[in-house]
Structure 1
Amino acid sequence: MTAATLNDAKPGWTPARMGVFALLVLAALWLGWKAWDVNITMSCWKNEWPNLPVCEEINGRTPQERVARLQERLAANPGDSQALVELTGLAHRPETAAGLDAPALLAAAGQAAPQDVTVLQLQANEALRAQRWPDALDKLTRLSQHHHNADATRVLAELVALAAQPTAQPTLQQALVDAVETDPGWLDRVLRAMPGAKLQLASAMPLVGLVAAKEPGLSAPLGLYLIRQLKTEGLWLEAHAIWLRLWKRPLGYVFNGDFEQNFVAGGFDWEVIERDPHRGGARIDLAGRRERGQVLRVAFTGRAMKTPLVRQHLLLPPGSYRFAGEFQSGDLRSERGLAWVFSCASNGRELARTAPLMAGGRTWQPLGVSLEVPADCGLGVALALQTEAPFEARTGLRGEVVFDRFTLVQAPATQEANPP
């Protein structure tokens, strides 16, 4: 017997088989058309293809037709939450509200899609109009924190500022306190939005105090942001209170005066003013010295430089103080030298400066000055390193200077001698 070949196994095209094949082709075409029709309809409902002419027929050409189409969808499928939310939005618009029960629709949409942005916005607006502060804050904080909704964040910032006014409703103040006690996470975005909305951060300090008093307290990034902004508003006491909260320990008038830790930007620590040390005339860093630990090193390159070179903001109540430290410079080439200068942070009025610091060999030399902080200076005082002669900041210096062991203590008030 010979082996069968592939040609032998090939089926013949009988009329019955051809009829079945034709039916299958028709079924495939019908299913493809239905799938295309469903996909087009769903895309139009989601406004994914808004320019297709067929979407006008599916969704409605006018707002009134839109309402009718949505009602038809809900009649066919009461669980269509997307249609319910859209119809609820139309019910809250004057041009399409006629004949629609907006409160009932909003209540139903709140059950069907409680986290939908449109639903939360409508619920927040209703609560704000009725001054139901806890409900409004619940919806606004969810919009701000979970949906990053800028409008909700702005409204929250305005409510925080409103609550700080003497005429504010106690119920609003208490609602904000309760919201922070429940979940302080929403406050971060609101605090960062306040300067952009032209709102003073001072109005938020009672809420900030609640967060700071609880564990884990303010995060370092948020705390430093608040300090920077409060300093620009001239609220030195509030800014320094947050600085103390971040460190959770008593601090001296000069922070990090021994230069043993890296600088914390944005707080009450040393600030290097030159942003591009590779092009500027002064390169500033912390350098190790075997017998001293770390010291502040300032290396001059001969180029022009920004002044002041280094600065620290201090909180100094009115009174008398004594500043002291040590420096070393064996090769500083300068006509007039350097000086540490105290000035009022609010207006730059100079209070005191050290004697000019000149080259003095490899020996560590003392530096110091006494100063009086007047009441009209405010609590913010700047301690800054600069050239003794302004022109040398433009012409540049050469050499290197290092500093260490800075202290600032209160001193007995200086008294002028009585005239004879």
Structure 2
Amino acid sequence: MTVPAAVEDLLRTLAPQVLGTLVRRHGAFDACEDAVQEALLAAAVQWPQDGVPENPRGWLLTVATRRLTDQWRSERARRDREAAVFTRERRDETAQTPAPDDDARPADRDDTLTLLFLCCHPALSPSSQVALTLRAVGGLTTVQIARAFLVPEATMAQRVSRAKQKIKASGARFAPPPPDERDERLRAVLHVLYLVFNEGYTASSGPDLQRADLTAEAIRLARALHRLLPDDGEVSGLLALMLLTDARRAARSGDDGLLIPLTEQDRTLWNRDEIDEGTALITDALTWSPPGPYQLQAAIAAVHAEAARPEDTDWRQILALYRLLSRLAPNPMVTLNEAVAVAMVDGPSAGLDLLRPLAADDRMSGHHRLAAVRAHLLELAGDAGAAREAYRRAARTTTSLPERRYLESRAARLTR
């Protein structure tokens, strides 16, 4: 079944609004989320044939409410206890009586942010947060999420189900987090969107280098978050980072699917609209917000985007930004990128020196990116033999077929 893009976009936009209304009325996030998914599937079948209804949000809300009512009736039929019957009859009555303010003033009640906070509850693992966010807020089906992350549908269904059960067991309410938890929960939301985007931009495994469906969904959700929190510098920074990074997508691989590194890309293929929007976002944010990790990464991406040719890149400015980032949010991946910048400013030997401590870091010692960066710097230093072996080691450890082919081609080039 092929769903027109306009219908799919509308359904994804409406999904959190409808789910928020149901959860606000009835609680029971897990049951409401299942009901909304069924309503989205029904719309995906009917709307392309019959046309989009005059009030699509009301249509989805009505269908989801009916599904919820049917579910509660089924549960009541399986239980004979009088108290349970009474409770569910009361729920049925509520489910069949729409709250007038929700339908009369839908623009006044946007639940996207509250849903994001709920889906990124600290009781959940990062992978569960990602799955639940894509399903509940993104409106993706379990099949679509499983396909995006290259796992069996049953595996993803179990992950989503466990996530909903954990939220239920935690006693979380459908409400914004208390003030003392808000910043931490917002960081989790931003991290989840960052993970979704990165998985789409460079797929961690499988035959494809990129998954445009995931990057597009991450950008859509980041835009929604930015509309809700326009005065948060890190929200602006994350959206800017996504746009500036996604702008290179068309130039990242050739007709043969082989990865093309940044320094060899045809920059005329970069998306100027995304670059202009992302640059404006991060330039504005840095004038009024203290710099955070996403803003600094966006600033680095903007410096790359400013260079018409690789040799025009202001590596000293990039190095200064990476050094600030490493102090603000130190982690091995930042060090890895900083080493490349150091090599471009102070020479490959200085970059290799910065890499050496990472070999003892359990998070990076077996990671293919460490071997790949080391290979690149060894190649720049003129040590072809050591570079070839490092490229081969990186190729053996990556689970991405396009990256493996690229790394093998680099190694093969050094044997000539």
TM-score (norm 2): 0.29
Alignment TM-score, normalising by the size of structure 1: 0.29
Task: Write 1 or 2 for the structure with the bigger share of helix.
Answer: 2
